């Protein structure tokens, strides 16, 4: 397909049904959408966005009637409403007015505080951005997903949430988890081959649907539909999005129901006793209702709402976004925190430190060249920031390089993209002279396991780098066979070329943050895909005593009972897969602990979902942010410690009111 072929420039994108796009080949789809492989111009995109609107399902704004509705669901308020109604029916206007004032104060205070908190959350929500790599004006750029329009050319990679309904133009081992749309539990393999026009949503293998998650591989695609015009958008329009109740909400609900039951029983008994004592029926009923009103802590909903709203605003000033107010209480309950290493205990600014040949000596420039070739970008990019790359690849491209290291002299012919199971990237490249070779780059142990010849000094050199706290990526290569295309069976018979070394220094304030968490009684554990020796070195540098390391292979080997004891004792979990992280979190919870998990990658999403309180950051992968309950706008454990303190303060204030109000009310009731 010629990127410079003439195409018509349209002021707004023509409507193209998704199934129509799925049945057409790539060239037809581009023509139908008035698009081109080099992407739209900025002016074209702006015109189409003005005509079609932003790529959103619905505005994220606080709705006053919804907030008010939540204030009216408390069993305590229901009791007060009933009491006021009976008082009016019996002609006791004074009682009804008093109860009405109490109701208005409780509901009004709760509404004002919660609506104000939701407005604050909306303002913080506007600061969070899901980004997507797009071709605009012939160059790769990162934009907000809300700015996508039909006809945009986008790139998606492992872990991305698909930002719109896409027609695939080029795929590399792409599979998507489409359970959110189709209900199917298994990932769906994708390709560019057109499908039948009447295919169902689960059979659109030439398309990627909005809201689904890229399970593995990568792709280049054209946007067909955005916002409510997508498959997911049509489903979402007809669904409510009620959040499940937290443990704190369930506890308050049970307490309110208990008070309601006690009030009803006492009211009935007192009324029956007064009638048996031949007291006037009307006076007996009013006296019973007064007792029922007296036993209820009328301001409980308002106190809880006010406390949570105040806590939310205090956390917002510390750049912590609580997606639901009640999660503040769960944050305060946390006594175990499982976190990744990069960006929390370390600076998170990974930099390229150098290369080592397989025999441990300084490597030639060829090793750096091979590392650059085994990345998911074109090879014409100059040193500097490259959109859409993982931190290690970005560090490689940002590093200065000798003039004889010219990745632009090569063309990538095929790729097996990185995924969290294989932990490596394999590419087939062709030089300008026609020679072809296969290059593999990834976790050192996984790459070395697929090499036929490893120098004796390689293992010692690798161990020395791990002991120094460096992150190490291995590079291997072999000649390509005639006509070879890459499959998982291609990843064998390599020769180890050497190691690329990266550094990520411990944070200057990490020691103080860990000490603060320790004073709060929170045990910190590390779950990382990196080597265990690197994590142990970071803990040692920060002065933290380690309870030992458990690697992913050991996690699989142990049964649940054995692993329960191990996870309670061990501090570092190294080389763990997403499923292993989730299993570790689940078993920590079974030990009776309240477990928080802090993660920012697609491999953390399962663990975030399993934890009592999932914590992520605004720079995280889309799927991680969606799975989290709390988002840190700064990836700082000290901020998290402040959040725990705030959660405990709010819980303590709520309990103080319950104890004071309930004991006082019972005393008044007994006196009456």
Q: Which residues are marked as active site?
A: 340
Neighbours of 196 (CB within 10 A): 11
Q: Where are the beta strands (DSSP E) in 584-638?
A: 595-598, 613-617, 630-632
Spatial separation of the C-alpha atoms in residues 428 and 372, rounded to whole Å: 13
CB 630 within 8 A of CB 613: yes
Q: Where are the beta strands (DSSP E) in 421-561?
A: 424-431, 436-443, 451-453, 471-479, 494-503, 523-528, 549-551
Spatial separation of the C-alpha atoms in residues 211 and 206, rounded to whole Å: 16
Angstrom distances, CA of residue 147 to CA of 18, 47, 143:
19, 11, 7
Report residue 429: phi and psi, to 5°.
Answer: -120, 155
Alpha helices in 90-172 (DSSP H): 93-125
Report residue 340: phi and psi, to 5°.
Answer: -80, 175
Alpha helices in 277-299 (DSSP H): 281-295
Spatial separation of the C-alpha atoms in residues 669 and 662, rounded to whole Å: 10
Spatial separation of the C-alpha atoms in residues 478 and 455, rounded to whole Å: 16
Angstrom distances, CA of residue 622 to CA of 57, 245, 457, 465:
16, 23, 41, 32
Tokens matching residue 226: 């955005």
- Kindly state the helix (H) or strand (E) to which residue 354 belongs, with its residue range: strand 351-357
């Amino acid at each position: 397909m010629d990127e410079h072929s003439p195409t018509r420039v349209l002021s707004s994108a023509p409507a193209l049904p998704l199934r129509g796009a799925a049945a057409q080949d790539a060239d037809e789809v581009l023509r139908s959408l008035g698009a081109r492989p080099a992407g739209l111009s900025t002016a074209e995109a702006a015109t189409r966005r003005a005509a079609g609107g932003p790529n959103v399902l619905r505005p994220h704004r606080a709705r006053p009637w919804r907030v008010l509705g939540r204030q009216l669901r408390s069993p305590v308020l229901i009791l007060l409403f009933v009491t006021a109604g009976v008082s009016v029916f019996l002609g006791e206007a004074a009682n009804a007015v008093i109860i009405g004032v109490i109701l208005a104060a409780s509901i009004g205070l709760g509404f004002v505080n919660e609506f104000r908190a939701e407005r604050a959350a909306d303002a913080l929500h506007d600061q969070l951005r899901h980004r997507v790599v797009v071709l605009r004006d012939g160059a790769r750029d990162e934009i907000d997903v809300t700015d996508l329009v039909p006809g945009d050319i986008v790139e998606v990679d492992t872990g991305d949430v698909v930002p719109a309904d896409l027609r695939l133009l080029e795929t590399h081992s792409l599979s998507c988890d489409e359970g959110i749309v189709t209900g199917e539990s298994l990932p769906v393999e994708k390709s560019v081959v057109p499908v039948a026009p009447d295919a169902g949503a689960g059979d659109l293998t030439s398309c990627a649907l909005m809201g689904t998650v890229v399970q593995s591989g990568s792709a280049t695609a054209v946007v067909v539909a955005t916002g409510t015009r997508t498959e997911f958008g049509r489903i979402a329009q007809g669904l409510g999005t009620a959040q499940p109740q937290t443990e704190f909400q369930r506890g308050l609900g049970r307490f309110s129901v208990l008070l309601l039951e006690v009030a009803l029983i006492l009211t009935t008994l007192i009324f029956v006793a007064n009638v048996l004592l031949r007291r006037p029926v009307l006076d007996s009923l009013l006296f019973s209702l007064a007792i029922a009103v007296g036993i209820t802590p009328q301001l409980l909903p308002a106190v809880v709402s006010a406390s949570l709203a105040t806590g939310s605003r205090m956390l917002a000033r510390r750049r912590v976004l609580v997606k639901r107010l009640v999660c503040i209480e769960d944050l305060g309950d946390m006594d175990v925190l499982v976190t990744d290493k990069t960006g929390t205990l370390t600076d998170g600014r990974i930099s390229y430190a150098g290369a080592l040949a397989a025999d441990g000596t300084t490597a030639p420039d060829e090793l750096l060249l091979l590392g650059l070739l085994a990345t998911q970008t074109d090879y014409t990019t100059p040193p500097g920031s490259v959109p859409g790359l993982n931190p290690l690849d970005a560090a490689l491209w940002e590093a200065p390089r000798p003039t004889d290291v010219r990745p632009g002299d090569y063309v990538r012919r095929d790729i097996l993209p990185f995924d969290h199971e294989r932990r490596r990237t394999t590419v087939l490249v062709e030089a300008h002279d026609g020679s072809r070779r296969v290059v593999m780059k990834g976790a050192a142990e996984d790459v070395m396991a697929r090499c036929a010849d490893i120098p004796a000094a390689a293992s010692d050199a690798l161990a020395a780098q791990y002991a120094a706290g460096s992150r190490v990526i291995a590079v291997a290569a072999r000649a390509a066979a005639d006509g070879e295309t890459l499959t998982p069976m291609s990843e064998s018979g390599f020769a180890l070329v050497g190691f690329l070394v990266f550094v990520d220094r411990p944070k200057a304030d990490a020691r103080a943050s860990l000490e603060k968490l320790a004073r709060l009684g929170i045990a910190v554990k590390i779950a990382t895909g990196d080597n265990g020796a690197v994590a142990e070195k970071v803990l040692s540098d920060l002065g933290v005593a380690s309870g030992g390391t458990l690697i992913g292979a050991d996690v699989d080997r142990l049964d649940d009972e054995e692993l329960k004891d191990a996870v309670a004792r061990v501090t570092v979990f190294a080389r763990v897969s997403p499923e292993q992280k989730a299993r570790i979190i689940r078993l920590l919870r079974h030990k009776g602990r309240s477990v928080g998990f802090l993660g920012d990658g697609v491999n953390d999403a399962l663990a975030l979902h399993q934890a009592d309180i999932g914590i992520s950051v605004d720079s995280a992968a889309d799927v991680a942010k969606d799975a989290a309950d709390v988002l840190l706008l700064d990836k700082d454990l000290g901020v998290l410690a402040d959040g725990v303190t705030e959660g405990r303060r709010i819980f303590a204030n709520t309990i103080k009111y319950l104890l004071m109000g309930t004991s006082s009310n019972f005393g008044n009731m007994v006196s009456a």
